[in-house]
Amino acid sequence: MRIILFLAANFSILVVLSMSMRVLGIDDWLAQQGLAGQINGILVMALLIGFGGSFISLALSKTMAKHGMGVHVIEQPSNPTEQWLVETVARLAREAGIGMPEVGIFQNPHPNAFATGMNRNDALVAVSTGLLQHMNADEIEAVLGHEIGHIANGDMVTMALLQGVLNTFVIFFARIVGIFIDRVVFRQEEGIGMGYIIGSIVAELVLGILASIIAMWFSRWREFRADAAGAHLAGRHKMIAALRALMRDPEPEDLPGEFAAFGISGSRHGVLGRLLMSHPPLEERIARLEQMAA
């Protein structure tokens, strides 16, 4: 249902876009420029690239995590810690109503964890060696509950869908801007010139920043929901204690690449400040949990 709703929303947006272009007379202008037939092609290309890249990344996320981040998947527990991790994830997954995820450990001195996977019944939950070293059992259980919450909420698929929509609009509008600059400013009569190349590149950079702001806003909202899930599955006091434990890390850092938005913790400062933070400040997350009914 989540996928159907997002696809329906995307289709509705495209319909509104199409109607707006007609009402504003953009279609007529494009026709006069001999470009009306190219718009459908640009839109199809934007959809294919926008959604294709997003879903290929999601489909390969578990593989990239295992090989790119060196996640050691626990096939057969070799010590009490690994046994406890597998049993705890299994219990939390049952309570959340999802299939048993793979459980792994990756080398990182900072306390962190993430969940990824295209299917809520075939996901991966991984914790860092730093998290195992610096947190107690209750705090780790809450972190695992938080990650199980991400999986149960379908956050990975939802994020991919949102990113696909944003990618599509960035690609589409950047090329429309490039065509406009090429024809109107540079007076290019046929084919494409430097105006299109320069205009589309600059527009893609600007629109890309705006798209990132939207994506990071959604990521922060999603973290509050995962915290609530962790509090429900493991206990509110354990979830608060886990977040307080993360605050003890003097130099928190993001996970690499696309995994940054899925970690339990992120860096506390972004290039554009809060607008590009994948995670809300830990103080705000704790405050939200403290406001929940006991």
Question: Hey, what are 33's tokens?
Answer: 């420029």
Place of tokens 């730093």: 130
d(CA 277, CA 275): 6
Strands, sheet with 124-128, edge to edge from the N-terminal-most edge strand: 72-73, 102-106, 124-128, 113-116
| CB half-sphere exposure, 237, CA atoms < 13 A | 3
Positions marked active-site: 147
220 CB contacts (<8 Å, ≥6 apart)?
Answer: 277, 278, 279, 280
Q: Hey, CA dihedral for 7, 10, 16, 20, is it positive or negative? A: negative
Using DSSP, state whether 267 is helix, strand or coil. Answer: coil
- Direct distance between the N- and C-terminal alpha carbons of the chain, in angstroms, rounded to an integer: 31
- How far are the Cα atoms of 38, 170, 180, 235 from residue 45, in angstroms, in the given order? 10, 12, 18, 47
